[in-house]
Every structure is written in C-alpha cells, then in structure tokens.
Amino acid sequence: MKKKNVLSAIFLILILLIVSGASCQGRGKNVEEPTWEAFEGKEGLFMEFVKDSPKRQVYATYDSDLSVLVELENKGSYDTDFELYLTGFDPYILVGLDSNSGRNYGTMVARSTYQEGDHKFVEFTASSMELPEGVEVYKPTLLLSNCYGYKTIANPMVCIDPTRYGVSLGQKSCEVKDISMGEGQGAPVAVTRVKQTMANRKAIFNIEIENVGKGDVLRKGIGTKCPFDLNYEDINIIDYYVESSEGLLSNCKPENKVRLIDGKGRIFCTYTTSEDYTYPMPLRITLDYDYLDTETRDIEIIKAPE
C-alpha cells in the first residue's frame, strides 16, 4: 500500500512539473523579442515624400487643389522636436501650399529595444493652382527641409594599463587597443573609432567622429536660422563632452566644440589614473548638435484644357 502511495505521489509531481513547464513556455511566447539594438544605426529623424503625393504630373484648374504628404519616423535613439519647411515653388501659383511651413510639429519619441520610434504624417495643401496667362506648364522642384536637434551617445569600454610598458607578470584584465564603432549609435553623427595609448599612468584617447547621415550638421540651438539664414559659423559645429566613471574629463582638445572637415572630426582627451593595476573603464562620449535633412520632388503642373 505504501509503495502504491509513493508511486502516486511521484506521478502527481511529474504532472505538475510538465504543466508548470508548459505554462512558462506559453508566457514566454507573449514577450516580444527585440529586433534591433536601440543604440545602433546611422539615422535620426527619417523623412520622405509619400509615393504619388503629389503625383509627378497634375492638371491645374482654378478650383483644383494639390496635396503633399510627408512621412516621418524617429529611427534613432534620441527624442526630438522638428520643424518642416516646404519651398521651391511660386506661392502665387500654388496658393497656400506653404501655410504649414515652419511649424513645430512636437516631439518624436526615439526607438527603444522593444518598440519603434514615433511615426507621423504631415500634409501640405495648396487650395488652388493658378497658372498665369500664357503659361501652359509649370515645373517646380519642391524642396522639403527638416530642422531638428539630436544627440549621439557612445559608451566604449577602454583599458587603463599603467604597467603596459613596464614589467608585468601574469594575465591582465583587459588590453589597450583601438575600438571600432562602425555600427553607429542610433544617430546621424557617429563615434566611429576610439584609438588609445598609454604613457605610464596617462591614457591618451583619439576619438574619431563622422557625419554618417545624409544631411548637414549645424550648431546646437540654431533655432529659426535653419534653414534659410545659415552662415559658416553655424555649419559643422558639434558640442561635446567626455566622461569617465570619475566624472567629466577636463583635459580635452579642441575645447568643448569640434568642427567637422569633410564630414569628419577628432577629439583628443587624456586621463591619469592613480591606480597601479590594469582595469577596464567605460567612457561616455556625448555629441550635441542640430541637423538639417532635405528632400526634393520634381512635379509638372499642366494647364487643363478649357
């Protein structure tokens, strides 16, 4: 009788284990696996004309209108506001098409590990198309300009080795070497490489950055000067700061800002350790800037036969 009870108890435990495992497996299926790294990529606020809006060729009458639809998505890792400008046409022919230009369209939330960034459509509408007398065809190139602020944050793990050129026995916890960051950091400006060397207790970092997006880098806080009132001092300027686990690295050149030349720039920083041993140390590199993206669309407006 006792043997029978023991066997029944073992059988009951096995059933409970099977049910419990199936339940856990079922719950696991409801958790959506991440499909990307939130801090990778080379895009910020993506923008494009929606296909066939407007169509490449349209017919104009006094009471006909024209709609231009723009799609935007924050494909990067930083929340941002944006302003859109639609230009490149005669406002007396495409009446009212510029009425939404220059508006702040609010915040676009960045993507995260488990969800896409904000997605939005913006529409520009001409209430009428009026070709002047004697003009049968009008061929403007619509120019869409998007001004927005963005940040790049890179977190390379460097190696601090005060004994690199001295006598050192046994294994070390890390190795001083160049760090490639070619996948980007979810922004149109990227830290592409961190080169490192040691001079006794002093670590020397050569930080390479690059405009990897399709647009232009602008000075942070450019405001209403974008896109029509820019000068040389507004273009290719990036604010930056570099931090270690101790705090801000104060010995960096150029100081506080770096200018891109041919889309690339360099920051040189040093860090002096008080320790006698080798250890890995995280750096945090922050790049702060405004960005200008542009897109064009050629259209042909034909006077409708009367």
**pLDDT for 270:** 96
CA distance to 17, 23, 151, 240, per residue, from 9 (Å): 12, 21, 61, 67
Please tell me whether residues 163 and 286 are part of one structural domain: yes
Angular region, 121: left φ>0, alpha ψ -120 to 50, beta rest: beta
**pLDDT for 20:** 44
Please tell me whether residues 155 and 211 are part of one structural domain: yes
Considering the domain boundaries, does residue 66 fall inside one?
yes
Considering the domain boundaries, does residue 11 fall inside one?
no
Please tell me whether residues 138 and 185 are part of one structural domain: no
Which pairs with CB-CB distance under 8 Å and at least 24 residues apart come from 112-117?
112/38, 113/34, 113/36, 113/37, 113/38, 114/32, 114/34, 116/73, 117/73, 117/74, 117/75, 117/76
Place of tokens 């259209």: 299
Domain CATH code at residue 265: 2.60.40
Considering the domain boundaries, does residue 96 fall inside one?
yes
State how many domains the chain has. Answer: 2
Range of the domain at 189: 151-290
Please tell me whether residues 120 and 185 are part of one structural domain: no
Mean pLDDT by 10 residues, the chain (306 residues): 47 46 39 53 96 90 86 96 95 90 92 91 92 92 96 96 71 91 95 95 96 97 93 97 92 96 97 93 97 96 85
Considering the domain boundaries, does residue 70 fall inside one?
yes
**pLDDT for 166:** 58
**pLDDT for 77:** 95
Place of tokens 């890179």: 154
Angular region, 165: left φ>0, alpha ψ -120 to 50, beta rest: alpha
Please tell me whether residues 173 and 100 are part of one structural domain: no
> pTM for the complete prediction?
0.83
Please tell me whether residues 158 and 83 are part of one structural domain: no
Query: What's at 247, amino acid-wise?
Result: G
Considering the domain boundaries, does residue 100 fall inside one?
yes
